[in-house]
Chain A
Amino acid sequence: MPRRPRRWRRGMWIAVLLAPGLAVMTLFVAVPLLSSFRYAFYNFKGVLPDAFIGLANFGDVLFEAPFAAQTWRALWHNCVVFVSLMVVQNGLAYLIAFALLKTLPGHRIHQTIIFLPVVLSAVIVGFLWKLFLHPLFGLVNAALALVGINGPPWLGNESTALGSIIFTNAWHWVGFPALIFLAGMQRISKETLEAARIDGADDRVLMTRIIWPLVAPSTTIVATLTFIGSFNWFELPYVMAGATGSPGGATDVLGLLFYRTAFGTASSGLQDFGHGSALAVLMFAFIAITSGIGLHFLRRREIEA
């Protein structure tokens, strides 16, 4: 005769299964997140909230010296990073995906190679390219010298520093959007592509008129992930340009500003959790709202296609 567990035994069993996961999520996701909204309204003494000060922290980081100028400059740099990565990194990824779609000999090996940098730490990639971009001893300027070009100090020059780090990011990550686009393209039916070819569509028409609208779901994902990544950008600029975004703040982004404000730098070890929390809440709200609106339009585009 089947032994039916009694009701409470079944309940206990479910509770046991759920308990460890729920405990960790509550202690290290839910509570910290809710606290982070609260902390933004407090002045801090060390690591302890001291006095409730209303919206003062928000006012400081948005409108008062010395924070405001840094906040808006950092936000601008994040926007530059996002747009550049969308065009350079993801544009290149789209072309590579189209090339891989042809399943020429060796396409599997190409996929493996292009994804290799993706699995490496941003710390390794950042340091590697920092050495390559060194003005005197770096590989990049040595290569340029071979063709008679005198390369600039890429990371030391205000006009080239941010671009150099964006390039490094594109080298590091291009394989990720490429394989997402490729997966999207592989889902398009053979008949559709065949029919377009018979109608006389060449590769250029195929790529811009037929495939582009049909991979709209992949574009949505790539754009959203690039947006979130660009506005949380931290490791690469930290490793390549330091916590202050050198030279002279030319590479300063919100991630660095947030880290610096909350935990201080090597030269000033001052912790400021109040202003840091306000920045975190603003960044969270900005990312959530903007990607929410963006997602709405991108999804509508998917349906129209």
Chain B
Amino acid sequence: MQHGERGKNALIQALLIANAFLMLYPLLVMLLSAFKSNAELFASPFALPESFGGANFARMWSETSFLRYLGNSIGVTAVSVGLIVVFGTMAAYAIARYPFRLSAAVFLFFLSGLMVPLKLAIIPLFIQLNALGLIDTRLGLVLVYVAMGLPSAVFIMTGFLRTLPGELEESARIEGASELRTMLQVMLPLARPAMVIAAIQNAVPIWNDFFFPLVFISSDALKTLPQGLTVFMGEYNTDWGVLFAGLTLSALPITLVYIALSRQFIAGLTQGAIK
């Protein structure tokens, strides 16, 4: 019996390793191909590159707007996530810590945003941004992302803030601290783990988003990384080494952050689905 169990576990382990190979091998080929010339790519697609020279990366750097796209993506994502966490925490704090007449209605208003895919409202959003003069601006993109992210942030933060004991607040008040100080110095430091979850849950889809920039942004100087990648893939479609270099560089930032924070990423992204 013991023997059969071990044999079966070895089989399961082998299947898991095969699966890991299927997941990682395409990404490894992407990385290795970025160092190859066209001739090398087509002659020996599976081999290691002849040299690890950075010619393809150098062309990416000098001939394309890659750095600009990267900068736009970092800026748009950072500002959007920052506003989502700040506005979301403020609203959640009011809902969770102060009983007021419309509190349930306000909470429901925020939550209703969870039910609707904002992509399907792209036409009225386009008209709205157009009327505000925000088409083809990074601010327009940021505002739409904030609207998209607030419902989940308010949901997570309200749930967490409600669990904090009321005595903390009371004792801060008795010592004469203002409401603002109580919030910033007593309550919110305790809510940091929930803020991290809310931030990651929104940062990944915003960083990866392609649909909203596709519709809202037309100036090359304002394009984000996924959107810039489509421009670049069209321009270099005969130069496969450069294409793989572009894909590798685009995947690199989030991959590195993921490797460093994989636990938080997995928790953050599956949070909404596991309860």
Chain A residues within CB distance 8 Å of chain B: 2-3, 5, 10-11, 13-14, 16-18, 20-22, 24-25, 27-33, 35-36, 39, 47, 96, 99-100, 102, 104-107, 109-124, 127-129, 131-132, 137, 139, 142-143, 171, 175-176, 179-180, 183-184, 203, 218, 221-222, 225, 228, 232, 234-235, 238-239, 255, 258-259, 262-263, 273, 276-277, 280, 283-284, 287-288
Contacts and interface: CB of A to CB of B under 8 A. Distances in A.
Contacts of A39: 123-124, 127
A127 B26 CA distance: 12
Contacts of A14: 94, 98, 100
B190 interface: no
Contacts of A232: 117, 119-120
A128 B265 contact: no
B102 to A, nearest CB: 9
Interface string B223-254: 00111011001000000100110010011001
A121 B240 contact: no
**Residue from A109, A114, A117, A123 with most neighbouring chain B CB atoms (10 Å):** A123
Contacts of B74: none
Given A13-B179, A116-B255, A263-B215, A29 B229 contact: no
A207 B208 CA distance: 35
A137 B43 CA distance: 9
A239 B230 contact: yes
16 contacts: A14-B100, A20-B87, A20-B90, A28-B143, A99-B15, A105-B13, A111-B266, A115-B269, A116-B23, A119-B258, A120-B254, A124-B250, A128-B30, A137-B45, A255-B119, A283-B120
Given A117-B23, A180-B274, A284-B117, A110 B16 contact: yes
| Closest 8 pairs (CB-CB, A-B) | A28-B147, A121-B208, A32-B124, A21-B91, A17-B94, A123-B226, A35-B124, A21-B87
Contacts of A123: 208, 210, 226-227, 229-230, 250
Nearest to A4: B173
Contacts of B174: 2
Contacts of B15: 99
A19 to B, nearest CB: 9
Given A262-B122, A263-B215, A203 B8 contact: yes
A40 B106 CA distance: 28
B207 interface: yes
A183 B247 contact: no
B146 A24 contact: yes
A127 B247 contact: yes
A221 B273 contact: yes
Q: Which label, helix, strand, loop or mixed, suits the secondary structure of the B interface? A: helix
Contacts of A99: 12, 15-16
Contacts of B227: 123
Contacts of A106: 13, 16
A2 B45 contact: no
Contacts of A2: 173-174, 176
Contact of A225 (B13, B86, B233, B273): B273
Given A124-B250, A183-B274, 12 more contacts: A13-B180, A21-B88, A21-B90, A28-B125, A33-B116, A96-B19, A104-B12, A116-B24, A121-B226, A123-B229, A137-B42, A258-B120
Nearest to A255: B119
B130 A47 contact: yes
Contacts of B86: 20
B128 interface: yes
Contacts of B94: 14, 17-18
A193 to B, nearest CB: 14
A234 B176 CA distance: 55
Contact of A25 (B109, B243, B255): B109
Interface string B111-153: 0110111111111111110100000000000011011001100
A273 B269 contact: no
Contacts of B121: 29, 32-33, 36, 280
B128 A27 contact: yes
A122 B210 contact: yes
A236 to B, nearest CB: 10
Contact of A115 (B125, B254, B266): B266
Contact of B127 (A24, A47, A110, A222): A47
Contact of B255 (A107, A120, A276): A120
B150 A127 contact: no
B259 to A, nearest CB: 8
A204 to B, nearest CB: 11
Contacts of B81: none
Nearest to A107: B16
B117 A287 contact: yes
Contact of A22 (B46, B106, B123, B255): B106
Given A127-B243, A287-B117, A25 B110 contact: yes
A211 to B, nearest CB: 15
Contacts of A21: 87-88, 90-91, 110, 150, 154
